[in-house]
Amino acid sequence: MMASTEKKKSLKVRRAGLPTREQVMEFITSSGQPAGKREIAKAFGLNGQEKIALKALLKDMADEGLIDIGPARAFHKMGGLPKVTVLRIVDVDGSTLIGTPERWEAEGQPAPRLRVMERGKRGALTIGDRILARTEEAGRGFVAHPMKKLAKASEELLGVVEEADGGKLWLRPVDKRIRKDTPISDAGSAKPGDLVLAEPVGRPPRISARITDILGDPFAPRSFSLIAIHKYGIPHVFPDPAEDEAVTASVLPLHEDKREDLRHLPIVAIDPADARDHDDAVWAAPDDDPANAGGYRAIVAIADVSYYVRPGSALDKEARKRGNSVYFPDLVVPMLPHQLSSDMCSLRAGEDRAAMACHLVVDAKGKVTSWRFSRAVIRVAAVLAYEDAQAAIDGTQDNELLEPALKPLWECWKLLRKAREKRDPLALDLPERRVVLDEDGKIVSVAVRERLDAHMLIEDYMIAANVAAAKALEAKKAPVMYRVHEPPSRDKLVALKDYLGTFDIEFALGQVIKPSTFNRLIERVGDLEERPQIMEQILRSQTQAYYSPENMGHFGLALGSYAHFTSPIRRYADLLVHRALVGAYDMELPAPKGGVIPDRTALSGEDFENMGRIGEMISQYERRAMEAERETIDRYVAAFLAAHVGDLVEARITGVQSFGFFATVEGLGGDGLVPVSTLGDERFFYDEAGRALEGVESGDRYTVGQRLQLRLAEADPINGVLRFELPDALPQRPGFKKDRTRPGVRRGRPANIRHIGSKRGKHRR
């Protein structure tokens, strides 16, 4: 009886307008907009009890596996692609980004790959990004129209499992910008101390973590690099097609008869002692042309990567996805597989190698008067470390190549150096940290790399070849992937002026800003104790270099045309320049037999049309690599200092804020905070313009650039964080309380002077 009554009610509602399952399904699959419960009710004119019945119907259809609910509470056909869904950018095809649904539950069906149709400024999206997108069928596939870029906070979490009192597990983040630990709701087989990947579960503020992958011991060799690889989503495993293609490409014939034979020349490669690959080598000799008396001929030979990695190939697609190699202290994530990056495209001593040769003619004043490019075969006479090449020149080490190779290289370089000095590019001599590891991957030392003439010699030869490549392509009106460095913005110059004012150094904003402007400024600073931090501030005032087919010049090098030509093993931009030269100067070689890899090595028409898009992408990948490398160095520094917690260290203040000041360990690097709460039992003013904290009673002043001794209070290798405190911090004054209405600020003071309360107490992470 009861069932009969319910059935009658159901029929009555349906007669009043409730759609059938078929009608609901047709509406969901044909709607051009997200189809949620509200949209379905509106489409069928439902109200009151009918909406309640619709809710029950939709639940039944979901339970039966007919429909599912996606983003914005919109329904879609189960196993199909929602009209609006969350996509993750996973690949790039030519210039088009490819996305796949983040959630895909159609059993037995592979997740679709959608072409992402960007609007507005291109390059806003890159591999690894998540977007909310509207999808539609187009031909035989699907396209996606981005509606919103989603925050990375909802992506995977990377951290270390920790156990609190009572046995509860927490995920401690490796990203120092994330201040809070996350409770773990599902640890799987993870144990305290494990480095793990996890996915967020729930909604703010009740987010928990479900562990999806155990990466191992965070303190094991290579773990610091592994943290950066996962945090930044750096592709580090080559797919099988790329690996197979690398094997095939590595045995391609050199075509010695079609290349310029330079094997008789004593060409040498000069690299860091710990270099993983060798993709450039140099040679020079006095010019025997009477018209160039006192001048030199030089060759910069670069591995002919374009011969092995061809446009549109699996190797090419993977190289573009990476953009560049990423160098960590303990490992390299290469742009190309091992068979190429450290074998056939590495210029090994005594072995024949395919090269792209840049031939330069340098006059007695150091000006490069002409250049030409050729595909060549070379045999490197020796691979020398910078230190060994320098020792040979200085006469402290014997080397059989001193007379035939090294001395001519140095004499030609002296001419190039003259031209460089006349050009007067930006000269910031800032130290570079080098992490030294033992065979087990343990830290031996963290030191500053020594700067030798040998370093500057190779740098100047590479710059000359890069300029020649750009100008050679311009002469043919061919596409160029320029390396662009624009002048500093006015905002950054104003900030620099304010900073220099704290040292009573004048800096006029009305002048024409050139690299020489900053060089003269550094000369005025002289040997002041603050010289290193002033150079760092000048560096911060510069814009970030990027890749573009539009030539905006290179401000830092004081050059009008500049491209990257010299490192195609590790930079995709250089590979594009090589391909453009092949096409512009008709240097194509016979195609390989069998058609296993593409025939052409020159720049493709598709790449020519999409140079702007490609430049934006590889610029983003370069910034990603720089951040990952820098963070990894910071973790190694923190690990090295962890054994010295409690010791006094020589430090220098690098930044001041209202909550404390940042300092770095002299000679090592690694920034750490000195919280204002540890500065003793007195109040401190924050002088925003002077970038200083000053004690009200003592007059103690902490300013940017100041050197002082600090006690290392904490060194956390997991996130690379250091914390310092004063060696003789005073105890807390009894009865002192902060202004809770606006912590750290006294009312009525000028805007640039903050009154900060400080009291001793346990610092909490």
Give pLDDT, residue 155.
63
- Return d(Cα 398, Cα 400) in angstroms, integer: 7
Instruction: Look at domain 156-218 and name its CATH class.
Output: mainly beta
Q: How does pLDDT run across 131-145, given as a tens digit for each residue?
A: 888 888 787 788 998
Structure-model confidence comparison of residues 646 and 536, the more confident one: 646
Give pLDDT, residue 467.
98
Share of the chain above pLDDT 70, in %: 88
- Whether pLDDT at 341 is above 90: yes
Of the pLDDT bands very low, low, confident and very high (cuts 50, 70, 90), residue 570 is: very high
- Rounding to the nearest 10 degrees, give the CA dihedral for residues 631, 633, 635, 641: -140
Instruction: Tell me how crowded residue 450 is: count the other CB atoms within 10 A of its CB.
Output: 12
Dihedral (CA of 42, 44, 49, 51) sign: negative
* Strongest mean pLDDT among 65-79, 263-277, 361-375, 593-607: 361-375
**Which burial class, exposed, middle or buried, applies to 505 when counting CB atoms under 10 A from its CB (0-12, 13-18, 19+)?**
middle
**Which burial class, exposed, middle or buried, applies to 435 when counting CB atoms under 10 A from its CB (0-12, 13-18, 19+)?**
buried
Tell me the mean pLDDT in the region 756-760.
36
Q: How does pLDDT run across 452-497, given as a tens digit for each residue?
A: 999 999 999 999 999 999 999 999 999 999 999 999 999 999 988 8
Tell me the mean pLDDT in the region 490-509.
87
- Rounding to the nearest 10 degrees, give the CA dihedral for residues 425, 515, 433, 282: -20
Cβ–Cβ < 8 Å for 87, 144: yes
Q: How does pLDDT run across 252-299, given as a tens digit for each residue?
A: 999 999 999 999 999 999 999 888 789 999 999 999 999 999 999 999
CATH number for the domain running over 645-756: 2.40.50.140
For 11, the 3-state DSSP assignment is: helix
Dihedral (CA of 560, 566, 571, 576) sign: positive
- Whether pLDDT at 373 is above 80: yes
Q: What are the tokens at 694?
A: 């000053």
Structure-model confidence comparison of residues 160 and 654, the more confident one: 160
Give pLDDT, residue 74.
67
- Whether pLDDT at 111 is above 90: no
- Return d(Cα 238, Cα 697) in angstroms, integer: 62
Q: Which runs of E-coded beta strand occur in 204-351?
A: 208-216, 260-261, 268-271, 280-286, 296-303, 326-327, 332-333
- Whether pLDDT at 741 is above 80: no
Of the pLDDT bands very low, low, confident and very high (cuts 50, 70, 90), residue 674 is: very high
Ranges of CATH 2.40.50.140 domains, the chain: 84-152, 156-218, 645-756
Q: How does pLDDT run across 376-397, given as a tens digit for each residue?
A: 999 999 999 999 999 999 999 9
- Return d(Cα 605, Cα 186) in angstroms, integer: 51
- To the question of domain 84-152 being in CATH 2.40.50.140, the answer is yes
Give pLDDT, residue 79.
56
Tell me the mean pLDDT in the region 65-89.
68
DSSP string covering 621-666, please?
A: HHHHHHHHHHHHHHHHHHHHHGGGTTSEEEEEEEEEETTEEEEEET
Cα Rg of the chain, angstroms? 31
- Return d(Cα 620, Cα 636) in angstroms, integer: 25
How many Cα neighbours within 13 Å face the side chain of 187?
19
Give pLDDT, residue 462.
98
Question: Which range has the worst mean pLDDT, 151-155, 294-298, 600-604, 697-701?
Answer: 151-155
Cβ–Cβ < 8 Å for 482, 552: yes
Helix axes 453-475, 407-423, angle to 10 degrees: 70
* CATH classification for the domain delimited by 2-77, as one of 1.10.10.10, 3.40.50.11780, 3.30.470.10, 3.90.650.10: 1.10.10.10
- Return d(Cα 575, Cα 5) in angstroms, integer: 76
Q: Tokens 């374009």, residue? A: 306
For 411, the 3-state DSSP assignment is: helix
Share of the chain above pLDDT 90, in %: 48
**Residue 275: C-alpha distances to residues 281, 339, 380, 516, 592 (Å):** 13, 17, 16, 33, 32
**Which burial class, exposed, middle or buried, applies to 641 when counting CB atoms under 10 A from its CB (0-12, 13-18, 19+)?**
buried
Ranges of CATH 1.10.10.10 domains, the chain: 2-77
Tell me the mean pLDDT in the region 226-252.
91
Structure-model confidence comparison of residues 437 and 628, the more confident one: 628
User: Nearest CA to 429 among 460, 413, 450?
Assistant: 450
Cβ–Cβ < 8 Å for 668, 640: yes
Mean pLDDT score of the chain:
84
How many Cα neighbours within 13 Å face the side chain of 493?
16
Cβ–Cβ < 8 Å for 127, 233: yes
DSSP 432: -
Q: What are the tokens at 425?
A: 């590019």
- Return d(Cα 550, Cα 479) in angstroms, integer: 9
Q: How does pLDDT run across 578-590, given as a tens digit for each residue?
A: 999 999 999 999 8
pTM: 0.79
Tell me the mean pLDDT in the region 339-346.
93
